[in-house]
């Protein structure tokens, strides 16, 4: 007869590269959970707040790789992933065979597969795990995480991901997480656009939009964006949650994938055009809800 024993606590040291709007909160949650965390960011001062909650700052990605069993990336785009992985003093120079890279950046599925192959040649596993939930989700460790990778690699990544999010879904091989994130960005583009139009229509009609949003929140029109971003559109003030410039980058990925498979995404293309206008006006670092600027301006608000 065999007796089941609880699995040993996960004692692996975790590296974290990329301490931006999302990454800083994610790394802090790992440290606050009592994990050994080694962090790096191109702007070194951004690591100070993480050191204050118990993390250790490293001087390069290579040093992070040498010190850690698992490394999480959360950087802007595929060129940055390439740089931190394979550039001078890059992560790959320090990683030992048998270690694991979890990429929470949003990049093309094809680039995720390329990076996975290059790491696999070094004996290093790779999982793509882009996230959704905004800065609030990153802060509260309630992110939705879309995962692509081999079964055993995803199983290895899961104890780390569970410290960052509450909805973790294994969607298929490497790249599947990035495909799903592209779909996520397509859907929320339409939702942002719809909420922006509804808010603008109500403001032009002279309605109390706070009451309107409360009424709509009980019906089919309700959404996370209506709940959490309509107030910014009403006030025409867009403090950072997720940069509109980054969402536009993500829509570029989605539109490229659509061309690849022969899908037509007219609403996504329209949203991308409005975002281009907002970015050209100097608002690329505003929250993604700043998409409403274009709708308001066209309506004389």
Pick the CATH number of 179-298 from 3.40.50.720, 1.10.540.10, 1.10.1040.10, 1.20.950.20: 1.10.1040.10
pLDDT tens, residue by residue, 41-84: 999 899 999 999 999 999 999 999 999 999 999 999 999 999 99
Rg (CA), the chain: 20
Taking residues 85-92, report their average pLDDT.
Answer: 96
d(CA 185, CA 20) in angstroms, rounded, equals 19
What is the pLDDT, as a whole number, of residue 2?
33
Whole-angstrom Cα distance, residue 38 to residue 57? 6
Cβ atoms 78, 111 nearer than 8 A = yes
* Residue 138: CB atoms within 10 Å: 27
How far apart, in whole angstroms, are the C-alpha atoms of residue 245 and residue 223?
Answer: 22
- What is the C-alpha to C-alpha distance for residues 219 and 123, in angstroms, rounded to an integer? 51
**Phi then psi dihedrals of residue 80, to 5 deg:** -70, -40
Region 21-50: mean pLDDT is 94
Number of H helices, E strands in the chain: 14, 9
Q: What is the mean pLDDT of residues 155-180?
A: 97
Per-residue confidence at 234, pLDDT binned at 50, 70, 90?
A: very high
Q: What's the CATH architecture for 14-174?
A: 3-Layer(aba) Sandwich (3.40)
CA distance 45 to 63: 17
- In the residue annotation, 249 being an active-site residue is answered as no
Q: What percentage of the chain carries pLDDT values higher than 70? A: 97
Please write the tens of the pLDDT for every residue from 180-202: 999 999 999 999 999 999 999 99
Can you tell me the mean pLDDT for 241-267? 95
Q: Report the relative pairing of strands 125-128 and 100-103 from DSSP bridges.
A: parallel
pLDDT above 70 for 4: no
Q: How far apart are CA 292 and CA 226, in angstroms?
A: 12
* pLDDT at site 241: 84
Helix, coil or strand: residue 60: coil
Dihedral, 25, 28, 34, 38 alpha carbons, nearest 10 = 120
Place 5 in a pLDDT band, splitting at 50, 70 and 90: very low
Identified catalytic residue from 181, 211, 243, 249: 181
pLDDT grade for 1, boundaries at 50, 70 and 90: very low
Mean pLDDT of the chain: 95
Domain ranges of the chain: 14-174, 179-298
CB 232 within 8 A of CB 163: no
Can you tell me the mean pLDDT for 117-143?
A: 96
């Amino acid at each position: 007869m065999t007796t089941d024993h609880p699995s040993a606590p996960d004692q692996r040291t975790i590296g974290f590269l990329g301490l931006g709007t999302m990454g800083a909160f994610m790394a802090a949650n790992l440290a606050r959970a009592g994990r050994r965390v080694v962090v790096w960011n191109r702007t070194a001062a951004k690591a100070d707040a993480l050191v204050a909650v118990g993390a250790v700052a490293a001087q390069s990605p290579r040093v992070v790789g040498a010190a850690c069993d698992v490394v999480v990336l959360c950087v802007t785009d595929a060129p940055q992933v390439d740089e931190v992985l394979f550039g001078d003093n890059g992560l790959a120079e320090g990683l030992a065979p048998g270690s694991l890279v979890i990429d929470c950046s949003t990049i093309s599925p094809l680039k995720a597969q390329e990076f996975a192959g290059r790491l696999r040649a070094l004996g290093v596993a790779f999982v793509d795990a882009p996230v959704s939930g905004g800065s609030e989700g990153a802060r509260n460790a309630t992110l939705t995480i879309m995962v692509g990778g081999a079964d055993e690699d995803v199983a290895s990544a899961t104890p780390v991901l569970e410290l960052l999010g509450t909805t973790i879904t294994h969607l298929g091989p490497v790249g599947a997480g990035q495909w799903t994130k592209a779909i996520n960005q397509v859907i929320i583009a339409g939702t942002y656009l719809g909420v922006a139009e509804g808010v603008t229509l109500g403001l032009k009609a002279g309605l109390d939009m706070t009451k309107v949003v409360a009424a709509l929140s009980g019906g089919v029109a309700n959404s996370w964006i209506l709940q959490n971003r309509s107030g910014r559109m009403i006030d025409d003030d867009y403090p950072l949650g997720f940069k509109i410039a980054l969402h536009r980058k993500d829509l570029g990925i989605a539109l490229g994938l659509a061309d690849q498979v022969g899908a037509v995404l007219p609403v996504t293309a329209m949203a991308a055009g409005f975002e281009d206008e907002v970015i050209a006006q100097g608002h690329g670092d505003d929250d993604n809800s700043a998409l409403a600027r274009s709708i308001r301006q066209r309506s004389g608000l």
